[in-house]
């Protein structure tokens, strides 16, 4: 099954007899907003217009637990996550399509969590809301309670030790911007740099100018050139397990399975005993 769906394909499925559950996960990294701008409010964006039938999901409250030792977006409590998904109408036997405002990071986080907890049929709207050419709605649906019960472990998850080991034995991609990987700037976390042995692979390079993923063959060629040749385990981390989920999604589009280090750099860099590499080279 493809991990993404185009807007025309989604329109066809919504018009059919078994439409997917739609989840709207609009979110924006707070530090990315312009100086002086009001905080991004995904719920307000949703209220102003969303795909008909879509249910809003709050990334910070429903797709993560509170920031702490596990990073800025640790895994949510599994029982609470399952309850949130059931409230949104998610059932194991019904497809789910997730979208966001176009960046794809938040939608990928929801996709990854649902896949990790065992949902068999989850896709991300390629290009997000800007790719949608159909009508929007301001009506807030009240979906029928779903039956999804999360069973963690269906897809790869890394902790800090696992990420460090994978950087030595396999391929560990750093999905952040190159300047953060190199340690030239660090706008969020305590220190700049990267996990020793990790390879810089900014997730922004996986998409075209319109926000849609590059073709699968291009993505595969990119990841192969960075060391993911298919003979080794692959993992990804980022700042807090959000943009890294987007890279895991890109790898899935390319046909390459990958694990996610959810704590990512926000967890790694919070412990001064963990080693930090700087510069353009992995070591």
Nearest to 131 by CA among 208, 59, 53: 208
pLDDT of residue 40: 85
39: burial class by Cβ within 10 Å (0-12, 13-18, 19+)? exposed
Q: Do 4-131 and 157-268 agree at the fold level?
A: yes
pLDDT of residue 30: 65
Nearest to 233 by CA among 261, 202, 268: 261
Largest CA distance in the chain: 56
Tell the CATH topology of 157-268.
Oxidized Rhodanese; domain 1 (3.40.250)
- Report the distance separating Cα 62 and Cα 39, nearest Å: 19
Q: pLDDT digit of tens for each residue in the chain (283 aa)?
A: 799 999 999 999 999 999 999 999 999 876 444 456 677 899 999 999 999 999 999 999 999 999 999 999 999 999 999 999 999 999 999 999 999 999 999 999 999 999 999 999 999 999 999 999 999 999 999 999 999 999 998 779 999 999 999 999 999 999 999 999 999 999 999 999 999 999 999 999 999 999 999 999 999 999 999 999 988 999 999 999 999 999 999 999 999 999 999 999 999 999 999 999 999 999 8
Tell the CATH topology of 4-131.
Oxidized Rhodanese; domain 1 (3.40.250)
pLDDT of residue 205: 98
Nearest to 207 by CA among 99, 95, 104: 104
Task: Supply the DSSP string of 186-247, one letter for each residue.
Answer: -SSSSS--B-TT-EE--GGGGB-TTSPBPPHHHHHHHHHHTT--SSS-EEEE-SSSSHHHHH
Choose the catalytic residue: 114, 219, 238, 259.
Answer: 238
Enclosing H/E stretch for 5: strand 4-5
Residue ranges of the domains in the chain? 4-131, 157-268
| 238 among known catalytic residues | yes
Sorted by sequence, the CB contacts under 8 Å of residue 110 that are 6+ apart come out as 23, 25, 57, 59, 63, 98, 122
């Amino acid at each position: 099954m493809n991990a993404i769906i185009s807007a025309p394909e989604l329109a066809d499925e919504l018009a059919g007899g078994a439409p997917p559950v739609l989840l709207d996960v609009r979110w924006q990294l707070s530090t990315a907003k312009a100086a002086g701008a009001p905080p991004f409010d995904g719920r307000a964006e949703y209220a102003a217009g969303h795909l008909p039938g879509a249910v809003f999901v709050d990334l910070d409250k429903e797709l993560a637990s509170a920031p702490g030792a596990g990073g800025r977006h640790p895994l949510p409590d599994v029982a609470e996550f399952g309850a949130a998904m059931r409230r949104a109408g998610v059932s194991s036997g019904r497809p789910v399509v997730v979208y966001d405002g176009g960046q794809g990071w938040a939608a990928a986080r929801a996709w990854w969590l649902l896949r990790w907890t065992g949902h068999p049929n989850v896709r991300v709207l390629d290009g997000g809301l800007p790719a949608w050419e159909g009508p929007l709605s301001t009506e807030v649906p009240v979906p029928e309670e779903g039956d999804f019960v999360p069973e963690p472990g269906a897809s790869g998850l890394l902790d800090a030790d696992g990420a460090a080991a994978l950087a030595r034995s396999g391929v560990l991609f750093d999905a952040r911007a190159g300047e953060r990987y190199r340690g030239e700037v660090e706008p969020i976390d305590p220190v700049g740099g990267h996990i020793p042995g990790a390879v810089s692979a900014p997730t922004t390079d996986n998409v075209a100018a319109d926000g849609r993923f590059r073709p699968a063959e291009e993505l595969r060629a990119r990841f192969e050139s960075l060391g993911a040749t298919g003979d080794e385990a692959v993992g990804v981390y980022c700042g807090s397990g959000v943009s890294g989920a987007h890279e895991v999604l890109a790898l899935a589009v390319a046909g390459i399975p990958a694990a996610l280090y959810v704590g990512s750099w926000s967890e790694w860099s919070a412990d001064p005993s963990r080693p930090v590499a700087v510069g353009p080279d992995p070591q």
